[in-house]
Amino acid sequence: MRIGGLQKVSLIDYPGKIAAIVFTQGCNFRCGYCHNPELVNPDFFIKPISLEEIFTFLESRQGELEGVVVTGGEPLLQEGLNDFLKKIKGLGYSIKLDTNGSFQERLRDIIEKKLVDYLAMDIKAPLEKYAAVVKSAVEIKKIKESIDLIMNSGLDYEFRTTVVKSQLKKEDILKIGELLKPGSSYILQKFVPSKTLDPQFLKETGYSDEELGEIVKELREIYHLNCIIR
């Protein structure tokens, strides 16, 4: 496990729970808008935080924190992730896992072994535009399988899309909605050009609140999604 950060408390990242956040280092995607370049580009990696430090902290917060969010980077890249999750579970915490959905077999294994309680997947684009947005080779079949796997897992879940105006048109966002079951939680994340993996994205713009509101309205009416803006 390569852990690049620990946020000791969050009231918003795990719905309904007070949680800590563990940030893993490394990602197989290179989304230009990514706001965590220090977790994606190896040139920016800090010395990893030891597992001993993580578990000493979690043990000290038993009874105060309710959950742990494991995010990245892409957590499913990490060797030893299953053992890491199992140990967190052993301390009595609920676990939320964030993923990009590109490692569907590892995701399936974690679900089957009941190592997580909540899943959040970033859907980067409609399937035909994926490679252009993530700037990496991607097996679209695996992305679709992960979406279906999560929706049929029986776990709490959410899907998210960061909306950069030059990358995703309204029609693209609606196409993503087609992939989701009615009642699914779908979050449109506003793009804020403050810190990005690709400096060119600092010049990009996001949708206005009014524009996003119209898209959310259509996603709710057409696909019956539990859609919000974040």
CATH class of domain segment(s) 3-229: alpha beta
Q: How many residues does the chain have?
A: 230
Burial class of residue 30 (count of CB atoms within 10 Å of its CB; 0-12, 13-18, 19+): middle
Amino acid at 192: V
Residue 190 to residue 230: CA distance in whole angstroms? 6
What are the extents of the domains in the chain?
3-229
Cα–Cα dist 15/12, whole Å: 6
Confidence category of residue 44, pLDDT binned at 50, 70, 90: confident
Spatial distance between the Cα atoms of 32 and 199, rounded to a whole number of angstroms = 8
The helix (H) or strand (E) run that includes residue 124 is: none
pLDDT (tens digit per residue) in 146-199: 999 999 999 999 999 999 999 999 999 999 999 999 999 999 999 988 899 999
**140 closest CA partner among 175, 184, 191:** 175
* Tens digits of residue pLDDT in 64-119: 999 999 999 999 999 999 999 999 999 999 999 999 999 999 999 999 999 999 99
pTM of the model: 0.95
pLDDT (0 to 100) of residue 194: 87
Using a CB cutoff of 8 Å and minimum separation of 24, what contacts does 50-56 make?
A: 50/3, 51/1, 51/3, 51/84, 53/6, 54/3, 54/6, 54/22, 55/87, 55/91
